[in-house]
A and B are shown apart, each in its own frame.
Chain A
Amino acid sequence: DAKTTQPPSMDCAEGRAANLPCNHSTISGNEYVYWYRQIHSQGPQYIIHGLKNNETNEMASLIITEDRKSSTLILPHATLRDTAVYYCIVRVAPHLSQAAGNKLTFGGGTRVLVKP
């Protein structure tokens, strides 16, 4: 799986959009970008994933650059409950590589602190 680079930490203001960057310059054609987050004392939680098109769900939006070498997770209106560590993970989609392809390789993530 390709390696990702994320800033170790960032602060954002409650009610404002939070933009979390991720670099994945070695991503290959069959690798997806996944985002998980981990709130203190909880297990990681899936947020969103994408291949090359921008994606949006009830939690967040994912913007992937045209060359796919970087992406941005957007939390449109950050709340105090969004304070967590956010992990950007690149991996081959499970439907392309059998069950073993479902392995998640976590890096250090970005520690996001939402301030009132």
Chain B
Amino acid sequence: EAGVAQSPRYKIIEKRQSVAFWCNPISGHATLYWYQQILGQGPKLLIQFQNNGVVDDSQLPKDRFSAERLKGVDSTLKIQPAKLEDSAVYLCASSLGLAGSEGNEQFFGPGTRLTVL
């Protein structure tokens, strides 16, 4: 079974530029997550989708970050304009999303490492 795919793996941009990350979840997974992981810290949830609807975006800096999952499958996360403090690894994860599943563990992609200069 293929895992969660993310691209690009690395990205270097200058501050005030824009950047986009792409994620393709495991086939059949209804729930998709974007996390931000700053160096030395644990991942922090930015946004959670259930199919193509947003479930939780309470920690997404909406003035500069946006995300979409138009067809309920793959997703893009955009930053515009980027700031120095956005340097981090951006992780995408997916889960079955079934309410009746006790485990419902999340499967993570390898992440995109963003460096803002």
A interface residues, Cβ below 8 angstroms from B: 32, 34, 41-46, 49, 85, 87, 93-95, 98-100, 102-109
The reply to whether A102 and B42 form a contact with Cβ atoms under 8 Å apart is no
* A-chain residues with CB within 8 Å of residue B101 when the two chains form the complex: 94-95
The reply to whether A99 and B43 form a contact with Cβ atoms under 8 Å apart is no
Residue B31 at the A interface, CB < 8 A?
yes
CA distance A87 to B37 in the complex (A): 14
What is the 8 Å Cβ interface bit string for chain B, positions 91-105, against chain A (1 contact, 0 not)? Answer: 101010111111111
CA distance A5 to B63 in the complex (A): 33
The majority secondary structure among interface residues of chain B is loop
Residue B25 at the A interface, CB < 8 A?
no
CB-nearest residue of chain A relative to B40? Answer: A108
- 7 more A-B contacts (CB under 8 A) besides A102-B95, A103-B48? A44-B93, A46-B107, A93-B102, A99-B48, A100-B55, A105-B45, A108-B41
The reply to whether A43 and B42 form a contact with Cβ atoms under 8 Å apart is no
The reply to whether A46 and B106 form a contact with Cβ atoms under 8 Å apart is yes
CB-nearest residue of chain B relative to A46? Answer: B105
Residue B4 at the A interface, CB < 8 A?
yes
* A-chain residues with CB within 8 Å of residue B50 when the two chains form the complex: 99
